[in-house]
Every structure is written in structure tokens, then in C-alpha cells.
A and B are shown apart, each in its own frame.
Chain A
């Protein structure tokens, strides 16, 4: 059986015994999604690379003793990564508290200023970044990383109901934050669709 066919659990067991090919397979399989999740949490590529490196360092330290016990390997990996992101965000907040102000988007611009920003992706990134951390994490895990609500709850260490509440509140906050530029965002998207259709 090649590494690509092997389950995460089998690869983890082999990596725990020092098998380099198994470790390489785990890296190949999981790095992109863990990095993407970290980017969405931290909004900083360099900090996200650090977070991924810390995540895998902890993985290598403990993978030999990891036992599934019903939990999925990638859920465990996400949990480590999200805890590291939380630590980094806490540290960032201590060092530069103004960056964590929830009403600010787009690097300090107010929503009405951002209304005139043409870069819709940047506006949405900023709105996501302005969300309270747990709401951002719930949206990152469920919407972008496509984890089930059950797995997201395991990663976050909360109940499924709490995840649903965070998602609902997060989406509501985003809708409110993006409302001023909704016509702009949707208008541009509609134009693209019509170009593709024609």
C-alpha cells in the first residue's frame, strides 16, 4: 500500500516510529489546509507559517503516543493549530491592543470608508478579521475548511450548539459589516457571471 492510500492514523503510527516517508505523506496531505486555516485566523502569511511549523513540531513530539479513540487525526491537528493561533492572537492583542478593536475593518478604516474601497476581497478579509475570534474560528472551520459542526465543536472544545450559535452570530455580524458594499460586491459578481454566461 502506498502512502497516498494509507489512513492518517496508520501514517501517524508509522511517523511515531520515526518513518520519514509517513511524515512526508502527512505533511503533503495536511499542510495546505492547516496553513489556510491559520491564514484565515491570523491574516498574516509569515505568522501563519510560524503557526504551521509549531503545529507540526508538536505533532512530531506527540504523534508516537497519539491514539485515535474515535477522534479523527485531522481534527486533532486542527485543534493544535487553532490553539497556537489563539496564543498568537492573544500575544498580538497584548502587544498592539488597537488591532483587535472589533468595530474596525480594513486596517483601521471604518465601514463607511471601506465602502469606497474597490478591492472587494480585501473588504471581506477585513470584515472576517474584525469578527470576534471564536466566531471567526467557527466560520473558518465550518465554512472554509468544511469541517462538520461536530468536528468543529471538537476542535474548539465547545458543544455543537455553541458552534451553531457562533456561526449564526458570525454570519449576522458579517452581513451587517458588508451591508454598505453589498450592492458593489454583488454587482461585480453578477457582472462576472454574465460575462461567463455570454
Chain B
């Protein structure tokens, strides 16, 4: 809050007036520093109009009451926690994998790329030596690496969103 006057009394009056305009007539809602220094000023006759305006608006605002949250809503929030916990514990193998690479933001992508290359190499080698009978296993491995890398990126995107 800036004030234009340099006289201490004017500054105090102006600051209290600004507080009335911004925060209302209840000094409890003012910033702490302003409350300590200027709350007494609202009794000043110079601020009578501003105080009356602020009191009137505060009284009008006090006529609205937001409803309380229902128990059903609170129960559903806990259920959502349970569901997520259950899903995560079901995916513990994946968690171990991701936890192992929690040391760096780009590590999972790098390692996933390595795994993809490794899986592809294994696939090529085994298909050439066994006539392709083990190729689907190698493909599955590569696909899993893709899925894990994708899940990691999605989590990062969600986090960045907030």
C-alpha cells in the first residue's frame, strides 16, 4: 500500500483509509503491520464515511453462508485415497522400478532408451539364432519399457501442471 502524503498523520489516515477500502472495517482482517500501527485510526472523524461504507459492505457480505461439506463427500474423499493406495500397492513392481530411478528427472527417459536399444538388440540376436521363436518376448520387454517411461512422463506432466 503506497501513500502520497509525507506528513505522519496524513500518512496514517491515508493508510487506514486504504485498509478500510481493501480489507473492510474489521481490523482483524487487516495485515498485521497495518493492524498494529493504524487500527486506532478508524475511530478518526476523518474516516467516518469510509468506515460507514466498509461496515455496510461487511454486514452485507456476512449475510451469505457457504454450506458445510457433507459426510458423504468426506467419505468419498477417503475412498479415493483408499482406491489410489490399493492401485499403487498393486503396482509395487512398477513402483520399485520407478523408485530406483528417482534420482534424476531425465534418468528414466535415458534408461528407457537404453532398455529399448538393449531389448531391440536382444530381439535381433535371438531371432537370428533361433529362427524368431523368442522374438515376441523381446518385443514385450521393449513395450514394457515404453509403458514405464510413458507413465513417468505423465506423472511429471501432472506435477508440472500444479
Contact = CB atoms under 8 A, between A and B. Distances in A.
Contact of B65 (A32, A121, A189): A121
A20 interface: yes
B150 interface: no
A150 B157 CA distance: 27
Nearest to B53: A175
Contacts, number: 122
Contact of A53 (B18, B77, B159, B162): B77
Interface in A123-146: 124-125, 128, 139, 142-144, 146
Contact of B158 (A20, A61, A128): A61
Given A39-B66, A143-B61, A28 B74 contact: yes
B78 A35 contact: no
A53 B101 CA distance: 31
B49 to A, nearest CB: 12
Contact of B29 (A35, A49, A60, A142): A142
A153 to B, nearest CB: 11
A121 B88 CA distance: 46
B23 interface: yes
Interface in B34-81: 53-54, 56-57, 59-61, 63-70, 73-74, 76-78, 80-81
Contacts of A149: 31
Contacts of A79: 162
Contacts of B31: 148-149
A32 B162 contact: no
Nearest to A138: B22
A36 B57 contact: no
A53 B57 contact: no
A121 to B, nearest CB: 5
A27 B60 contact: no
Interface string B123-137: 000000000000000
A90 B81 CA distance: 28
A10 interface: no
A73 to B, nearest CB: 13
A190 to B, nearest CB: 9
A189 B73 contact: no
B147 interface: no
Given A31-B74, A143-B29, A60 B80 contact: yes
Nearest to A79: B162
A37 B159 CA distance: 23
Contact of A58 (B63, B69, B162): B162
A120 B56 contact: no
A175 B23 contact: no
6 contacts: A23-B81, A28-B74, A45-B67, A62-B158, A171-B22, A175-B56
Top 6 A-B pairs, shortest CB-CB distance = A36-B66, A35-B69, A39-B66, A23-B81, A56-B77, A121-B63
Interface of B: 1, 18, 21-24, 29, 31-32, 53-54, 56-57, 59-61, 63-70, 73-74, 76-78, 80-82, 84-85, 88-89, 158-159, 162
